[in-house]
Amino acid sequence: MDNSRRDFLKNASLVSLGFMFLNRYAVGAVSGVHNKASGFGPLVYRENDILAVPKGFSHKVISRKGDIMADGFLSPGAHDGMGTFRWKDGKVMLIRNHELTPGSHGSGPWGKENQALSKIDPEYIYDIGGSQRVCVGGTTTMIYDEKTQRVELEYLSLTGTVRNCAGGITPWNSWITCEETELGRGDEEGVLEKDHGFNFEVPATDKVGLVNPLPIKAMGRFVHEAVAVQPNTGIVFQTEDSGTGVFYRYLPNQYGKLHQGGKLQALAIQEISKADTRNWDDLTTAKFPEKKRFKTYWIDLDQVEAPDNDLRLRAHEKGAARFAAAEGIWYGKGELFFACTSGGNNHKGQIFRYIPSPYEGTEREKEQPGEIELFLEPNNVDIFQNCDNLTIAPWGDVIICEDKADPRVIGITPKGETYELAKNIGYRKSEFAGPVFSPSGDTLFINIQSPGLTLAITGPWNNVHRV
pLDDT in tens, 255-276: 999 999 999 999 999 999 999 9
Q: Quick check: 62 and 144 in contact, CB under 8 A?
A: yes
Other beta carbons within 10 Å of 414? 13
Tell whether the model's pLDDT for residue 32 goes beyond 60: no
**CA neighbours within 13 Å on the CB side: how many for 211?**
23
Counting beta carbons within 10 angstroms of the beta carbon of residue 130, is it exposed (0 to 12), middle (13 to 18) or buried (19 or more)? Answer: middle
Give the number of C-alpha atoms closer than 13 A to the C-alpha of residue 289, restricted to the C-beta side: 6
pLDDT beyond 80 at 14: no
DSSP 13-46: HHHHHIIIII-TTS-EE---SGGGGTSS--EEE-
Question: Which DSSP state fits 213?
Answer: -
Biggest CA pair distance of the chain: 64
Output phi, psi for 215, to 5 deg: -70, 140
Residue 72 has pLDDT above 60, yes or no: yes
What is the three-class DSSP state of 364? helix
* Residue 35 confidence (pLDDT): 65
pLDDT tens profile 177-236: 999 999 999 999 999 999 999 999 999 999 999 999 999 999 999 999 999 999 999 999
Which pLDDT score, from 0 to 100, does residue 17 have?
38
Say which residues have a Cβ less than 8 Å from residue 97's Cβ, sequence separation at least 6. 79, 80, 81, 82, 137, 138, 139, 164, 165, 166, 167, 177, 178, 434
Contact by Cβ (8 Å): 144, 87: no
Helix (H), strand (E) at residue 88:
none
Where are the strands (E) in 183-286, listed by range?
Answer: 199-203, 224-229, 236-240, 248-252, 262-269
Nearest residue to 247 (alpha-carbon basis) of 127, 328, 159: 328
Q: How far apart are CA 125 and CA 390, in angstroms?
A: 29
Considering the chain, what percentage of its residues have pLDDT values greater than 90? 87
